[in-house]
A and B are shown apart, each in its own frame.
Chain A
Amino acid sequence: MLLNQFLILSAFLFCTGIYGALSRKNAVLVLMSIELILNAVNINLVAFGAFKNTPVGQVFALFVVAIAAAEVGVGLAIVLIIYRNRRSIDITSVDSMKG
Chain B
Amino acid sequence: MIAENIAFGFVALAMVVGAVRVVTTKNVVHAALWLVLVLSGVAAIFILLAAEFIAVVQVLVYIGAIIVLFLFGIMLTRAPIGHDAGLDNDQRWAGLVVALLMFGVLASVLAKQFGRVHVNASNVQRTADVANSVFTTFVVPFEVVSVVLLAALVGAVVIARRD
Taking a contact as CB atoms closer than 8 A, the residue among B72, B132, B145 that contacts A63 in the complex is B145
Contacts of B156 in A (CB 8 A): 73-74, 76-77
Interface of A is mostly: helix
Taking a contact as CB atoms closer than 8 A, the residue among A5, A18, A25, A39 that contacts B88 in the complex is A25
Please state if B95 and A23 are interface contacts (CB–CB under 8 Å). Answer: yes
Please state if B42 and A80 are interface contacts (CB–CB under 8 Å). Answer: no
18 pairs from A and B in contact (CB 8 Å cutoff): A1-B119, A4-B110, A32-B35, A33-B23, A35-B39, A36-B38, A47-B119, A50-B49, A50-B121, A51-B120, A55-B130, A56-B137, A59-B134, A65-B54, A66-B148, A68-B61, A73-B69, A84-B162
4 A-B pairs with the lowest CB-CB distances in the bound complex, closest first: A22-B95, A20-B23, A70-B152, A19-B99
**How many chain A residues have a CB neighbour from B under 8 Å?**
71
Please state if B16 and A12 are interface contacts (CB–CB under 8 Å). Answer: yes
Q: Tell me the complex Cα distance, A97–B99, Å.
A: 27
- Write the nearest CB–CB distance from B86 to chain A, whole angstroms: 7
Contacts of B151 in A (CB 8 A): 70
Quick one: CB contact mask for B79-95 with A, threshold 8 Å, 1 for yes? 10000001111011011
Contacts of A36 in B (CB 8 A): 19, 22-23, 35, 38
Quick one: CB contact mask for A68-92 with B, threshold 8 Å, 1 for yes? 1111111011111101100001101
Q: A22-B94, A58-B51, A58-B130 are in contact. List 12 more A-B contacts (CB 8 A).
A: A1-B4, A8-B111, A17-B23, A23-B23, A23-B96, A32-B32, A36-B19, A55-B132, A61-B54, A72-B70, A80-B160, A83-B77
Please state if B38 and A19 are interface contacts (CB–CB under 8 Å). Answer: no
Please state if B96 and A73 are interface contacts (CB–CB under 8 Å). Answer: no
- Write the nearest CB–CB distance from B72 to chain A, whole angstroms: 7
- Write the nearest CB–CB distance from A91 to chain B, whole angstroms: 8
Q: Tell me the complex Cα distance, A24–B149, Å.
A: 28
Known: A1-B1, A15-B100. A42 touches B23 (CB 8 A): no
Please state if B102 and A18 are interface contacts (CB–CB under 8 Å). Answer: yes
